[in-house]
Structure 1
Amino acid sequence: MTSKRTTVLAGHSTTNATLFHRCRFLVGDSSVAIDFADGTSTYLVRDIEIDRARKAVRANQIACAADFIPEGGLSGDRDTALAQATAECLRQAGESIITVDRSLPYLYAHFIQEAGISIHYSADLGVLERRIKDVQEIEHLRLAQKITGEAMTHACRTIAHATPGKEGILYHDGAALTSERLRAIITAFLLERNFSNSHDSIVATAPHVADCHHYGTGPLRTGLPTIVDIFPMDNKTRSNGDMSRTVVNGTPSDEAI
């Protein structure tokens, strides 16, 4: 076995994009994908997730920490036990050196190295693979961008159809339309479509609009440009949309144009 080509990805697929891309499986606990040089693969996950994983993950073997107990036993801590099992799995396979990506938690590196296995870091592992989208991923991106566009249309129409009040402050459904309120409206729209907006949206008008990536605060006003930037994630596919637009309620001033 040419063990230099054996790769290990580990962490949480909910936050580790490379691990999710490899497995296409969302799980709240830590998991590990080992792709051996001979073309076989092992996926390690919490025992209660094995049945779900077997239906979704592309791997020759789906296992849990208890399937690879090292000589000293497994820790009572779940994450530590999985790292220990990962090292034991590699040891049993006769690995002497593996390749990992930028995201490998040090917990895994510690036990892998403790087992006498060297670690080679690859700056490209997982990065280049994710830049090439397959047919399914392209469709996921199209849907994400479609929903993002619908959210943007909803936000822009809310601003455009708002009623100006005193000092030009916009009102929507009887209350002042603020940056904070419109961001909440956008988030609610996305949540109804199973999209997350964990980083919030940008709804910024003067003077905050001049500060790059300021989320915006306070009331929106007629005649002034408002920048809306929405970048949500599809909870099912982990695909992201991204869209920015500038909208003005009423007639924009010459200065704004």
Structure 2
Amino acid sequence: MTNEALLLVGDSVTDQDLYYKTHFLAGDPFVYAQLDGRSLLAVGAMELSRAEKESSVSEVRTFEELGYHELLKEHGDRYRAYAQLLMKIVSAIGADAVRVSGEFRALHADLLRESGLQVRVVPDLLLSDRRHKSAEEINAIEEAQRATERSTARGIEILRESDEVGGALVYRGVPLTSERLRSEIEGSLTRDGMDVSHTAIVASGPGAADPHWQGEGPLRVDEPIVLDIFPRGRRGRYFADMTRTVVRGRPAPILQKMYDAVLASQESAFAMIRPGANGSEIHQAVVDVLREAGFDREDGGPRYNHGTGHGVGLDIHERPGIGKHGDVLEEGDVVTVEPGLYHPEIGGIRIEDMVVVTAGGCRNLTRFPKEFVV
């Protein structure tokens, strides 16, 4: 019978599995091993003190203490030396086999197997753990969401205060552009302790028919403006995600019809979300509402060209998914619900909230109002 440990190698800035298991944020690579109730974190000597204070593991050791420099001299090859260091860490925790994620380096796996260690690759290694959000995690997501809502409110305030000059919006005497409004929104987020390295979308005009276009250039009256904001909390490390589409001025009837259809389709999704609900069926219900309203048809009109939602947590996009190939929802999932309609000559309409799946349905974590005309 083998004693199989969980083994994670990397940095916790880019590998959220590592941060999830250790609560230790570091840009330099480190190693985490866990067997039953014991967990070991191996770091460079300069990180020892911080790791002991900040991490949630039961034991912290240094690469130097584990003999990495001696291994490097012995093998003359940093890859083989590192593999032998991993062998020492696995042995120190009492394991003789490991399970690793699909992102684990193939070279590490090959060298460990050469040394006689059984390595089992498990895709989505921590999926089950990470998708079921604890109360603490939901609080962190809601904290980021409140900051997102305050930044959106700031953006809409600027739109309302802007003057109309020849069909363009002018704020405090200067033309209002996507770039300028984005800067104001991200400034609000930064002051609220959010990480804005994932650039907010402030998109209008025909280019907004591309759902992930960040937006650029002057903002105009009577055109839909998509505000899709998804910051990460610097303290909690969890993301939020919200989209509102607004018009400063008077939307054309087709835009209002599109907006109403998207809003109705979102409500249909909310009504279906509960443990055991199939993400594919929820997505199809959204599509059905849009088609009943006269959209997403093969007639050259506005189309719906993306999934209905995705999980949110330490990554902005994680499981479960709500789309053509969606997952079955489980209690504790936090997911977005973000239907939209797009046309290359019109632009886009998208509305997005985040919900947590509860025993009896779902709870909307988003409080911000949905007002099309501002």
**TM-score normalised per structure 2:** 0.63
In the alignment, the residues of structure 2 paired with residue 55 and residue 92 of structure 1 have an alpha-carbon distance, to the nearest angstrom, of 21
**1:115 alignment counterpart:** 115
Instruction: Map residues 86-235 of structure 1 onto 2, 5 A cutoff.
Output: 86-91=86-91, 95-106=95-106, 108-166=108-166, 168-235=167-234
Given the superposition, is the C-alpha separation of residues 78 and 154 from structure 1 closer, same or farther in structure 2, using an over 3 Å criterion? farther
What letter corresponds to residue 136 of structure 1 in structure 2?
E
Aligned partner of 1:45 among 43, 46, 57? 43
In the alignment, the residues of structure 2 paired with residue 241 and residue 78 of structure 1 have an alpha-carbon distance, to the nearest angstrom, of 40
Q: Which segment is superposed worse, 67-76 or 103-112?
A: 67-76
In the alignment, the residues of structure 1 paired with residue 44 and residue 151 of structure 2 have an alpha-carbon distance, to the nearest angstrom, of 37
> C-alpha offsets along residues 219-242 of structure 1, whole Å, 9 cap, x if unaligned?
110111111100111112111011
What letter corresponds to residue 17 of structure 1 in structure 2?
Q
In the alignment, the residues of structure 1 paired with residue 151 and residue 83 of structure 2 have an alpha-carbon distance, to the nearest angstrom, of 41
Determine helix, strand or coil for the equivalent of 2:9: strand
In the alignment, the residues of structure 1 paired with residue 80 and residue 207 of structure 2 have an alpha-carbon distance, to the nearest angstrom, of 46
What letter corresponds to residue 216 of structure 2 in structure 1?
T
In the alignment, the residues of structure 1 paired with residue 77 and residue 176 of structure 2 have an alpha-carbon distance, to the nearest angstrom, of 49
Q: Which segment is superposed worse, 71-80 or 23-32?
A: 71-80
> C-alpha offsets along residues 192-240 of structure 1, whole Å, 9 cap, x if unaligned?
2221121211111111122222111211101111111001111121110
Consecutive unaligned residues of structure 2, counting only runs of 5 or more, are: 257-374
**2:72 alignment counterpart:** 74
What letter corresponds to residue 207 of structure 2 in structure 1?
H
Given the superposition, is the C-alpha separation of residues 71 and 54 from structure 1 closer, same or farther in structure 2, using an over 3 Å criterion? closer
In the alignment, the residues of structure 1 paired with residue 69 and residue 172 of structure 2 have an alpha-carbon distance, to the nearest angstrom, of 67
Instruction: Map residues 240-255 of structure 1 onto 2, 5 A cutoff.
Output: 240-255=239-254
In the alignment, the residues of structure 2 paired with residue 78 and residue 169 of structure 1 have an alpha-carbon distance, to the nearest angstrom, of 60
> C-alpha offsets along residues 125-146 of structure 1, whole Å, 9 cap, x if unaligned?
2111111122221111110111
Shift of 1:189: 1.6
Contact in 2 for aligned 1:87/1:108 (Cα 8 Å): no
Contact in 2 for aligned 1:42/1:60 (Cα 8 Å): yes
**1:10 alignment counterpart:** 9
In the alignment, the residues of structure 2 paired with residue 236 and residue 254 of structure 1 have an alpha-carbon distance, to the nearest angstrom, of 44
Given the superposition, is the C-alpha separation of residues 92 and 197 from structure 1 closer, same or farther in structure 2, using an over 3 Å criterion? closer
CA RMSD of aligned residues (A): 2.5
Q: Percent identity?
A: 32
In the alignment, the residues of structure 2 paired with residue 140 and residue 81 of structure 1 have an alpha-carbon distance, to the nearest angstrom, of 39
What letter corresponds to residue 58 of structure 1 in structure 2?
S
Contact in 2 for aligned 1:66/1:85 (Cα 8 Å): no
Contact in 1 for aligned 2:38/2:93 (Cα 8 Å): no
Consecutive unaligned residues of structure 1, counting only runs of 5 or more, are: none
Given the superposition, is the C-alpha separation of residues 80 and 48 from structure 1 closer, same or farther in structure 2, using an over 3 Å criterion? farther
**2:352 alignment counterpart:** none
In the alignment, the residues of structure 2 paired with residue 27 and residue 77 of structure 1 have an alpha-carbon distance, to the nearest angstrom, of 25
Contact in 2 for aligned 1:144/1:233 (Cα 8 Å): yes
Determine helix, strand or coil for the equivalent of 2:64: helix
In the alignment, the residues of structure 2 paired with residue 233 and residue 149 of structure 1 have an alpha-carbon distance, to the nearest angstrom, of 13
Shift of 1:104: 2.1
> C-alpha offsets along residues 61-99 of structure 1, whole Å, 9 cap, x if unaligned?
201111222696237999986654222222455643210
**Greater share of residues in strand:** 2
Number of residue pairs aligned between Structure 1 and Structure 2: 254
In the alignment, the residues of structure 1 paired with residue 160 and residue 77 of structure 2 have an alpha-carbon distance, to the nearest angstrom, of 54
In the alignment, the residues of structure 1 paired with residue 64 and residue 20 of structure 2 have an alpha-carbon distance, to the nearest angstrom, of 25
